[in-house]
Amino acid sequence: MLRPEDVLPHRPPFLFVDEVDDLIPGQRARGHWHLRGDEAFFAGHFPGRPTLPGVLMVESLAQLGGMAVLADERYRGRLPLFGGIDKARFRRQVGPGDVLELEVELGRLSARAGSGHGRASVGGALACEAELLFVIVDA
């Protein structure tokens, strides 16, 4: 099984993908982020009603998309960085104990940039989706 830390440069506490279920290099990936409840952001967002910040949902999608890019031989030794986020929509709250189901389909992919569409859900219910734009730089 492919581990995120084998492909991504991210490390805790800023690694938001726990496992990858399916990955086709340069095309798509599916994975999960298990929210245990002891993550530091829950203490302040929000006291009494811990809620996963939407920007972290988008970041988890970007990390999974980064895995699909970096697993492609053409991009070994490179680093995908955010170039933009379009059409981000948040549909439901995500909290401690939830498993965020992640999926990213890459679109246009060139030597220097690319795009993708990401969806995050819990129990099959859509929580977030966004169009992700990225640039690819030397690591």
Nearest to 90 by CA among 81, 100, 80, 82: 100
Alpha carbon distances (Å) from 95 to 20, 29, 50, 101, 139: 21, 23, 6, 13, 34
Burial 14-34 (b: 16+ CB within 10 A, else e): eebbbebeebebbbbbbbbbe
**Residues tagged active-site:** 45
